[in-house]
Amino acid sequence: MKTNFRQKAKIGVAGSFFNQLMSNNSSIPELGKGATEMHFTDRTCYEVIKVSKDKKEARLEILVAKYNPELPHDIGHQNWILEQSGRFITVIWKWNGWKTKRTIVRFTKEYIKNCKFDALAKGLTPQQHAAVYGNDIRPKNVIEGLTENAFEYSKINIIFGRKDYYYDWSF
């Protein structure tokens, strides 16, 4: 089965016209090449460090842009130095577009079904609450019968094969 990796952004919604145009592409991830995520006006760069055989999933390292005082610059279009950050994201081709894929901890369907309280945390004992949440406001730990790991997907406008960092100073 051949997949068409054609992602489409909604043109005219808001933000940079060029970012919207760049979001409409059919690029695919290639190991060792770059990637650029288009935001409202800014752009973030990545390095592709792992690609699945079917090209539908890739692991990307977030690149940090550092100012280079030795190169000529203009507002917005500086000659940035892109450096590795040690932070990573996973993108996956799903539902006719690229999505970020991350693991989250959520309450199990069984616990939610059996919980008699409006707020899930109210059904927990103080010990269970501490075990599930730790010091966070979101569930952080998998506790058998209460929570489980799950995947969460979010749309990402990305183009593969280039690293085109941009920071809009006007926002």
pLDDT, one tens digit per residue, over 32-65 is 999 999 988 889 999 999 999 999 999 999 999 8
In a domain, 170, yes or no: no
pLDDT value of residue 1: 43
Q: How far apart are CA 62 and CA 52, in angstroms?
A: 18
Q: Is the pLDDT of residue 72 over 80?
A: no
Residue 128 and residue 93 share a domain: no
Number of H helices, E strands in the chain: 3, 7
Q: Is the pLDDT of residue 79 over 90?
A: no
Q: Is the pLDDT of residue 4 over 80?
A: no
Residue 52 and residue 26 share a domain: yes
Residue 39 and residue 80 share a domain: yes
Q: Which residues pair with 107 in a beta bridge?
A: 147
Domain that holds residue 120: 103-151
pLDDT value of residue 75: 57
Residue 92 and residue 28 share a domain: yes
In a domain, 145, yes or no: yes
The model's pTM: 0.79
Residue 35: closest CA among 46, 51, 26: 46
Residue 68 and residue 142 share a domain: no
In a domain, 1, yes or no: no
In a domain, 56, yes or no: yes
Residue 83 and residue 34 share a domain: yes
In a domain, 135, yes or no: yes
One-letter amino acid for residue 135 of the chain: N
**CA angle, 143 then 145 then 108, to 5°:** 95
- Count up the domains in the chain and report the number: 2
Q: How confident is the model at residue 17 (pLDDT cuts 50, 70, 90)?
A: confident
Residue 92 and residue 51 share a domain: yes
Q: How far apart are CA 63 and CA 4, in angstroms?
A: 28
pLDDT one-digit tens code per residue, 89-147: 999 999 989 999 999 999 999 888 887 666 666 778 889 989 999 999 999 999 999 99
Residue 91 and residue 48 share a domain: yes
| Contacts (Cβ under 8 Å, ≥6 apart) of 101 | 57, 90, 91, 92, 94, 151, 152, 153
Residue 21 and residue 78 share a domain: yes
